[in-house]
């Protein structure tokens, strides 16, 4: 009798297993896919900030031509005007450095007026007038700009200021009214180290930065 019950229970278990298999089946890869959830049920996509905005706001200064103390100020400049580009600014600053020096050496106050702020223009004009009264003229030449490095940057309201250190080689000659050399030499370039500050109103119609302060390093 015991053997009979064991066989009977085994047959019942086999029967249930076959029924379960017929109901569930086995996976073949062609099963019906679950219904897609409606738009209301789907999780909303996560919107990432645009790459340019996120990158500029967080790290605008992966550049060896920028001192660490200027980084925070440059981020403020970029936040105030997202189109600001550090590399383009430095290229423009070097061009302005050359044009300003050449205009000053020639005594061209009209050209200086487009490049510098009023107080700086007044100081340049005074130096130019003193040369004229002394009957002297400068025959200087900018040989090369060895480096241009942003050393400071600030933003107050919409007014941005960026300070750049220029290391350059300049051949400096002073001539008298007859053209005779009274100081300097064109054959020997002198190392010069200038610290100039440029300013601009952010988001203004005028894209130009003007020189507002000059100093020697």
* pLDDT tens digit sequence for 113-143: 999 999 999 999 999 999 999 999 999 999 9
Which CATH number do you get for residue 195?
Answer: 3.10.450.240
* Helix segments in the chain, DSSP class H: 2-24, 51-58, 71-80, 86-106, 109-113, 118-134
Q: Which residue has the higher pLDDT, 14 or 217?
A: 217
pTM of the model as a whole:
0.71
Task: Decide if 7 is inside a domain.
Answer: no
Residue 209: which of 108, 81, 52, 102 has the closest Cα?
81
Q: Which residue has the higher pLDDT, 39 or 172?
A: 172
- With a cut of 60, say whether residue 46 has pLDDT above it: no
Task: Decide if 20 is inside a domain.
Answer: no
Task: Decide if 27 is inside a domain.
Answer: no
Task: Decide if 193 is inside a domain.
Answer: yes
- Rounded to an integer, the average pLDDT of 152-165 is 97
Q: What percent of the chain has pLDDT over 90?
A: 65
Task: Decide if 105 is inside a domain.
Answer: yes
DSSP-derived 3-state class of residue 45: coil
Domain count, the chain: 1
- Rounded to an integer, the average pLDDT of 90-113 is 97
Q: Give me the residues paired with residue 167 across strands.
A: 147, 193
Q: Which residue has the higher pLDDT, 23 or 135?
A: 135
DSSP-derived 3-state class of residue 113: helix
- With a cut of 50, say whether residue 49 has pLDDT above it: no
- Rounded to an integer, the average pLDDT of 157-162 is 97
């Amino acid at each position: 009798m015991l053997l009979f019950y064991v066989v009977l229970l085994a047959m019942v278990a086999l029967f249930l297993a076959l029924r379960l298999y017929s109901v569930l089946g086995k996976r073949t890869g062609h099963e019906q896919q679950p219904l897609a959830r409606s738009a209301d049920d789907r999780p909303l996509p996560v919107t990432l900030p645009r790459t340019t905005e996120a990158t500029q706001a967080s790290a605008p200064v992966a550049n060896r031509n920028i001192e660490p103390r200027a980084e925070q100020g440059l981020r403020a400049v970029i936040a105030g005007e997202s189109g600001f580009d550090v590399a383009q600014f430095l290229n423009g600053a070097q061009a302005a450095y050359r044009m300003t020096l050449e205009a000053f050496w020639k005594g061209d106050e009209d050209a200086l007026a487009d490049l510098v702020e009023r107080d700086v223009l007044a100081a340049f004009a005074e130096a130019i007038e003193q040369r004229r009264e002394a009957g002297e003229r400068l025959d200087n030449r900018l040989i090369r700009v060895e480096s241009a490095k942003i050393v400071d940057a600030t933003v107050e309201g919409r007014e941005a200021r960026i300070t750049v250190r220029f290391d350059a080689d300049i051949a400096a000659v002073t001539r008298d009214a007859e053209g005779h050399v009274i100081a300097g030499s064109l054959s020997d370039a002198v190392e010069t180290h200038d610290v100039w500050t440029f300013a601009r109103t952010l988001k203004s119609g005028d894209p130009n930065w003007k020189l507002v302060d000059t100093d020697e390093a």
